[in-house]
Structure 1
């Protein structure tokens, strides 16, 4: 008897897989048709228009390339038939390629029954005006951490195309980019464009969690689990249930706690500290870092298997110097924002200011631009922002010189700062140490490290 929930076609050359999926989805109220190869699928499509196709990537036992599946996907996409790819863990890259070619989503074999049902329900009952189809460059309500989302430049347009493919899936996303580019803003955008947008987006700075508190912070704890656990506390996974969990600065995660995170990402299960009750985690993971995780894997400071769990899709957020076409709109939004904040009348920009902002290299990216515009709005006493109101850190520094400074070693930077502090305070050790944020004894140790003579600074 035909189902009222919709029709799903399962395409797989493995009879056991077809049978298992048919039983699972039939029990959920779906009409399920089976096809063991593309030809049989074509015969079904000649007579029926399914709501969804579950498509295996390979149909011959000696084939692992996925080429057959991609060919079928192309035909299904042309007919506007939603398709979910089925792939083994080792073929995740193939599934990603399929997503880029138009697949609605993918599921790994062996699958989790409940998650597969949720996936099928989502795509069968998908609204034609889904968030994934929202117009590019439309600012998302509530996303105002730095400024409205601006994507006019070619670099950002290319990123937007990827966002449209990724946002409304369950795939993990790794956002790469320099400091200040707006990685947390991008994470918010992905969340608000996803089917999870009505559930919480929970952010956590992984580098700021002490190693001893890692499990409690992410998984929560029960009352009395440890000395200071006077009350039960929910962890970030529980707070983000059915929503999105954003791991900022994931590259700063200590080695010792990486296996604990990997375990919950693999099993979707965790136990609060002090509890033996297992909780299920239904969250979508977005991570961000300015570190090179591949280099960290090679050096042994980041687990390869954890990286693979995080980087199903990688989105590279370009630095501001590579998206100069966006500066004018970013500045307009920031001027309007800070004019309201500081109760200023509507401000205009001198043409020379626009040229000055476009010529600058922006080593601090959008965050630096925001600070520069905020200062300019505060300093402006009339209704026009002049060049004198624009306070840049180094207006004339060429880009190669900025890059050269950015690549200096920590020892070089520390050495220069110590010299600068000692000269500024005429060798007064206590004042210099205080300015550097270290103890007097620590400053003495650094003098010894760099073989500096106290007499050279007239130390009192």
Structure 2
């Protein structure tokens, strides 16, 4: 229910406004002056303010009302304000509008005029909020999870049971196994399926922008804040918020995340007003969080908030029965994308796919099929169209001692990234995917090792 704050030093005026607005099903709070109103704003979620412009200092200038509007601007609030003036002063009304007031009514008012203005502004506020949500990055597409192997059938059964609760879920698994797809699948089988599903890659957010991205900001709250922005928690209100790569969160930001998960409360950057978050949290990581906790890089209490239920997706090499149906599905998807709709996988191509180790999991399989669709000479994909020329897991393990020099871990990581960048002609994204690293992770490591991309491209 919308709450209307009526600010006037005359009790009979406040009562008259309250009675009129209660007929619309609105809940009214009363304040006898600006100071009292500012205190109420700290604890109450107000939808609209009715503001008298004149109080104890005088009865005509409107200075006290104008000062209150300036204070609201300093707080960064966007609550619509309708001003009330007993003298129908055009100058005061214009000054109030310049400071952010949305409309005005004259005292004594006509109840029809008052209720019409209030209803109009409440509808406009809701419309603005909805438009901002529509502009935000949300996903409404249906998630199809292809799983024929017994191990994946058991996992999906667990996921569907967990989906019916509001418990926080942590999804673990190697890069490319389909963690984000499983998160979307859980949302679609949850009691919140008719609400928004919002996905955010935590690892891709710069630490300085984290609060703004997650909690939103008010215009002017920092240098580049040129307009109000909704945060992901507010956009996902009533629905599901998926936090991918949660292990990349810095310790400082982990404390901020823990607070909102524990109390369901947060503040928009640049605002002192506390908001509540009614969202279901699903998070994902490819890291061993137990190890990062031991190393002091992740908070144990935050993990407890995230993993009420933990679901682990096995790598593709451990679910061979899923390779063929996944490959055929991806062939249809990429065939449609590149206008090659009648393609098929030959028996030798399917056999090659099943015998490959898939270090990049489903993501690598998708790239492999996409490449075959583009490069094959006919509609029947052969094994050589797949270009699976990398060694299998068994070959790699048997030659590991000979192929892998004994080097410090940091130096070994640097060399692997250099080799991957050379292999992919300086394509950072492709090199990262081959190494099982996200876009943000590969760039962080390039910066850490001070690698010169220009040298690689040569």
What TM bracket, shorter-length normalisation? 0.5 to 0.7
Question: For 2:238 and 2:422, how far apart are their aligned partners in 1?
Answer: 56
Q: CA offsets, 1:186-210, max 9 Å, x none?
A: 0000001111111111111111222
Superposition pairs of residues 217-232 of structure 1, within 5 angstroms:
217-232=213-228
Deviating above 4 A after TM superposition, structure 1's stretches of 4 or more consecutive aligned residues are 402-410, 417-424, 441-444
Task: Summarize the Cα distance change of 1:163–1:423 in structure 2 as closer, same or farther, 3 Å threshold.
Answer: closer
Bigger Rg over Cα: 2
Q: Provide the residue aligned with 1:416 in structure 2.
A: 415
Which of 235, 239, 254 is equivalent to 1:239?
Answer: 235
Q: Provide the residue aligned with 1:349 in structure 2.
A: 345
Which of 266, 291, 295 is equivalent to 2:291?
Answer: 295
> Contact (CA 8 Å) 1:363, 1:402: kept in 2 or not?
no
Q: CA offsets, 1:346-368, max 9 Å, x none?
A: 11221111111000110000000
Q: Provide the residue aligned with 1:327 in structure 2.
A: 323
Q: CA offsets, 1:288-320, max 9 Å, x none?
A: 000111111111111111000000000001110
Which of 313, 316, 333 is equivalent to 1:317?
Answer: 313
Does residue 275 in structure 1 map to residue 274 in structure 2?
no
Which of 167, 171, 186 is equivalent to 1:171?
Answer: 167
Question: For 1:416 and 1:385, how far apart are their aligned partners in 2?
Answer: 35
> Contact (CA 8 Å) 2:198, 2:241: kept in 1 or not?
yes
CA deviation after TM superposition for structure 1 residue 227, in Å:
1.5
Question: For 1:421 and 1:269, how far apart are their aligned partners in 2?
Answer: 44
Which deviates the most, 236-245 or 295-304? 295-304
Question: For 2:362 and 2:421, how far apart are their aligned partners in 1?
Answer: 34
Which of 251, 266, 275 is equivalent to 2:247?
Answer: 251
Superposition pairs of residues 139-178 of structure 1, within 5 angstroms:
142-143=141-142, 148-178=144-174
> Contact (CA 8 Å) 1:361, 1:399: kept in 2 or not?
no
**Structure 1 unmatched runs, 5+:** 1-139, 425-436, 445-460
Which deviates the most, 161-170 or 415-424? 415-424
Question: For 2:170 and 2:407, how far apart are their aligned partners in 1?
Answer: 27
> Contact (CA 8 Å) 2:140, 2:197: kept in 1 or not?
no
Task: Summarize the Cα distance change of 1:316–1:385 in structure 2 as closer, same or farther, 3 Å threshold.
Answer: same
TM-score normalised by structure 2 residue count: 0.58
Q: Provide the residue aligned with 2:183 in structure 1.
A: 187
Task: Summarize the Cα distance change of 1:371–1:302 in structure 2 as closer, same or farther, 3 Å threshold.
Answer: same
Question: For 1:384 and 1:164, how far apart are their aligned partners in 2?
Answer: 37
User: Equivalent residue of 2:218, what SS?
Assistant: coil
Question: For 1:310 and 1:272, how far apart are their aligned partners in 2?
Answer: 22
CA deviation after TM superposition for structure 1 residue 332, in Å:
1.0
Task: Summarize the Cα distance change of 1:409–1:321 in structure 2 as closer, same or farther, 3 Å threshold.
Answer: farther
Question: For 2:189 and 2:182, how far apart are their aligned partners in 1?
Answer: 11
TM-score normalised by structure 1 residue count: 0.58
CA deviation after TM superposition for structure 1 residue 402, in Å:
9.2
Superposition pairs of residues 112-123 of structure 1, within 5 angstroms:
none
CA deviation after TM superposition for structure 1 residue 409, in Å:
6.3
Which of 197, 200, 204 is equivalent to 1:204?
Answer: 200
Q: CA offsets, 1:203-257, max 9 Å, x none?
A: 1111122222211111111111112111111101001000000000000000111
Task: Summarize the Cα distance change of 1:346–1:409 in structure 2 as closer, same or farther, 3 Å threshold.
Answer: farther
CA deviation after TM superposition for structure 1 residue 401, in Å:
2.5
> Contact (CA 8 Å) 1:175, 1:288: kept in 2 or not?
yes
Question: For 2:198 and 2:398, how far apart are their aligned partners in 1?
Answer: 35
- Supply the RMSD in Å over aligned alpha carbons: 3.1
Q: Provide the residue aligned with 1:286 in structure 2.
A: 282
Task: Summarize the Cα distance change of 1:226–1:341 in structure 2 as closer, same or farther, 3 Å threshold.
Answer: same
Question: For 2:192 and 2:451, how far apart are their aligned partners in 1?
Answer: 51
> Contact (CA 8 Å) 1:203, 1:245: kept in 2 or not?
yes
Task: Summarize the Cα distance change of 1:153–1:256 in structure 2 as closer, same or farther, 3 Å threshold.
Answer: same
User: Equivalent residue of 1:270, what SS?
Assistant: strand
> Contact (CA 8 Å) 1:331, 1:373: kept in 2 or not?
yes
User: Equivalent residue of 1:398, what SS?
Assistant: helix
User: Equivalent residue of 2:147, what SS?
Assistant: coil
Task: Summarize the Cα distance change of 1:393–1:249 in structure 2 as closer, same or farther, 3 Å threshold.
Answer: farther
Q: Provide the residue aligned with 1:358 in structure 2.
A: 354
> Contact (CA 8 Å) 1:250, 1:289: kept in 2 or not?
yes
CA deviation after TM superposition for structure 1 residue 423, in Å:
11
Task: Summarize the Cα distance change of 1:238–1:418 in structure 2 as closer, same or farther, 3 Å threshold.
Answer: closer
CA deviation after TM superposition for structure 1 residue 396, in Å:
4.5
Question: For 2:348 and 2:298, how far apart are their aligned partners in 1?
Answer: 47
